[in-house]
Structure 1
Amino acid sequence: MYQIPGHHHISMLTKNAQLNNEFYQKILGLRRVKKTVNQDNPFMYHLFYGDLTGSAGTELSFFEMPAAGRTVRGTNAITQIGLLVPSSESLEYWKGRFEQYDVKHGDITTYAGREALPFEDSEGLRLILINNNGAEVPEDWAAWEQSLVEQEHRILGMGTVEMTVRNVDKLAKTLTDMFGYIEVSRSEQEAIYQSVEGQVLGEIVVKQQDGPSEKPGRGSIHHLAIRVKNEEEIAYWNEVVKKRGFQSTGVIDRFYFKSLYFRESNGILFEIATDGPGFTADSKVEDLGEKLDLPPFLEGRRAEIEAGLTPLE
């Protein structure tokens, strides 16, 4: 069985792409590495933020839905995103930065055994900065030197992702029996799983919560994509998902990566995505995120698509 090396990206809903763009670039200091559209609805922006090239494991992605209502929080949902920062000093820096920019945040605390600082974006999306404390990160993660955040405190990439479900055992079996995640701790209300033991890059915290399911809206999390290397591995996982009894979309060519989607038994949507070819497939590194990029099958509709989108800075 192939090992899942960690998270690939995570996708959310935003009501306003311009405000979203300002928050993630100007306040969080991430690079917008791709300005494209939802390939299933090309009149909807799909924005990606990350490191210099949007390396797998650093990508936060947003679908713009101008009609999105508010999120009604509940269970059976992905409920928080962890982002890694270098040190304890970084958490203090970010606390000050959040106060400067009037970003809703909590106090520095402990989360999943690590020092952390919870905060929310302008639409109520729950995030938490986690002290990476000098642990290694993938060699391909590369800092964006034009970030507005001081170099020694920049966000490195994705860390712990939190899921809240009615039935922890069902999700646990999917993670451990199907994907080979390791259960590193378990209590009555919470369990922690890692795709690579000891690494936060593929860590998932699962919390038990009864009650109604979350009603998605602006600031909600749509799905988590986990990482595989190539087409051979994703074809393998497609068969595993189907043999497990889940309904797979089959492998879809997203141009920047190949992917498939399925829902586990609580309704959590997972994507499995390949590392490549990546966002430089149609752009030079220095030009990433500047213009509207379309996959080849949509290029012939560029004029129509651009006319239907609100211009974005």
Structure 2
Amino acid sequence: MKNIAGHHHISMITKNLKVNNGFYQNILGLRRVKVSVNQDDPSMVHVFYGDLVGSPGTGLTFFEMPLVGRTHRGTDAITRIGLLVPSFESLVYWKERFTILGVKHGEITEYAGRSALHFEDNDGLRLVLLNNNEETVPEFWTEWDDSNVLPQHRIVGMGPVEITVQSLDTLSNVLQNIFGYIIKSNSDNQVVLQSIQGQSFGEIVIVKHGGPKEKPGRGSVHHLAIRVKNSDDLRYWEQRIKDFGFIIMKFTDRYYFESLYFKEENGIVFELATDGPGFTRDASIEELGSKLELPPFLESKRKEIEAKIRGIEF
């Protein structure tokens, strides 16, 4: 059976893109690699942050919804995003940085078997920095040299992603039986799975929790995208998902990658996305994130789109 190579990206909702950009680029030191629009609703801006080129496994993406309300937290939702940093000393650095910059954060503690520092962005999105402890990461992840974070403490890429559900076994079985995820640790109310054994950059932490379902709003996570190699592999996974009785919500060419979406029984939306062509398809490395870029099928509507979108600063 083919394997899932880790996370591809994760997509969230933000209320204010200007504030969001200030947080992820100026505080977290990530690069804004693409400013585009929601291809299904071009009136909505879609921004991508990541490493130098927005490599698969480093991507945090946001849809701007200026009128969105707050998130009512609950179960059956993606509830926390892990970001890897090089060392324990990096966590100390980030705790001091967050204190100086007024970022809501906790103490250095443990999470998913690693030293960790929990924090939130301006929308209340829950994140956690984790000590990668010099473990292997994808070799193509590339630092952005213009980051204002000290090189030895920069965020490396995505780590464990937490999903809270009412039925832990249902989601765990989907990840194991369809996609080949492997159990790293297991207890009554939590299971940690890895797409590649021993590698944290593909971890998913499933937490069992009853109660009301989360009502999404600003700072909520829309979906998690996981990595597939290419178009052929995507069609392999499409058939495998169907064979297990799930419906493909959408199969589409996003221009920067191909993807499909499906929803498991707890209501969690997963995207499967190909590694390429990538964000340099329509921009040089130097130009990434410096202008509004649209896939070819939306170019004829550029003036209309530019007239509607707000809050973009280049």
On whether the aligned pair clears a TM of 0.5, the verdict is yes
CA contact 1:235–1:251 (8 Å) conserved in 2: no
Paired residue type of 1:228: V
Matches within 5 A, 1:254-293: 254-293=254-293
> For residues 25 and 205 of structure 1, do their structure 2 counterparts lie closer, same or farther at Cα, with a shift above 3 Å needed?
same
Provide Cα deviations, 1:160-189, integer angstroms capped at 9, x if missing partner: 000000000100110001100001211111
Find the counterpart in structure 2 of residue 160 from structure 1: 160
CA contact 1:234–1:251 (8 Å) conserved in 2: no
- Residue 103 (1) aligns with residue 106 (2): no
1:249, distance to aligned residue in structure 2 (A):
2.8
Find the counterpart in structure 1 of residue 58 from structure 2: 58
Q: Supply the distance in 2 between the matched residues of 1:11 and 1:156 (Cα, whole angstroms).
A: 18
Point out where structure 1 has 5 or more consecutive residues left out of the alignment.
none
Find the counterpart in structure 1 of residue 141 from structure 2: 141
What is the TM-score when the length of structure 2 is the normalising length?
0.99
Paired residue type of 1:81: I
Paired residue type of 1:193: L
Find the counterpart in structure 1 of residue 123 from structure 2: 123
Q: Supply the distance in 2 between the matched residues of 1:3 and 1:265 (Cα, whole angstroms).
A: 22
- Residue 26 (1) aligns with residue 23 (2): no
Paired residue type of 2:227: R
Find the counterpart in structure 2 of residue 210 from structure 1: 210
CA contact 1:252–1:259 (8 Å) conserved in 2: yes
State how many pairs are aligned: 313
Greater mean deviation of Cα atoms: 51-60 or 178-187: 178-187
CA contact 1:238–1:250 (8 Å) conserved in 2: no
1:139, distance to aligned residue in structure 2 (A):
1.0
Find the counterpart in structure 2 of residue 222 from structure 1: 222
Q: Supply the distance in 2 between the matched residues of 1:269 and 1:251 (Cα, whole angstroms).
A: 13
- The DSSP-based 3-state class of the residue aligned with 1:108 is strand
Provide Cα deviations, 1:108-131, integer angstroms capped at 9, x if missing partner: 001111011000001100000000
- The DSSP-based 3-state class of the residue aligned with 1:300 is helix
1:312, distance to aligned residue in structure 2 (A):
1.2
Paired residue type of 2:35: K
CA contact 1:123–1:218 (8 Å) conserved in 2: yes
What is the TM-score when the length of structure 1 is the normalising length?
0.99
CA-based RMSD: 0.6
1:251, distance to aligned residue in structure 2 (A):
2.5
- The DSSP-based 3-state class of the residue aligned with 2:273 is strand
Paired residue type of 1:169: D
CA contact 1:162–1:204 (8 Å) conserved in 2: yes
Find the counterpart in structure 2 of residue 310 from structure 1: 310
Q: Supply the distance in 2 between the matched residues of 1:311 and 1:103 (Cα, whole angstroms).
A: 22
List 4+ stretches of structure 1 deviating above 3 A. Answer: none
- Residue 94 (1) aligns with residue 97 (2): no
Point out where structure 2 has 5 or more consecutive residues left out of the alignment.
none
Identity between Structure 1 and Structure 2 (%): 61
Q: Supply the distance in 2 between the matched residues of 1:68 and 1:281 (Cα, whole angstroms).
A: 32
Q: Supply the distance in 1 between the matched residues of 2:136 and 2:280 (Cα, whole angstroms).
A: 25
- The DSSP-based 3-state class of the residue aligned with 2:29 is coil
- The DSSP-based 3-state class of the residue aligned with 2:129 is strand
Q: Supply the distance in 1 between the matched residues of 2:184 and 2:26 (Cα, whole angstroms).
A: 36
1:311, distance to aligned residue in structure 2 (A):
4.2
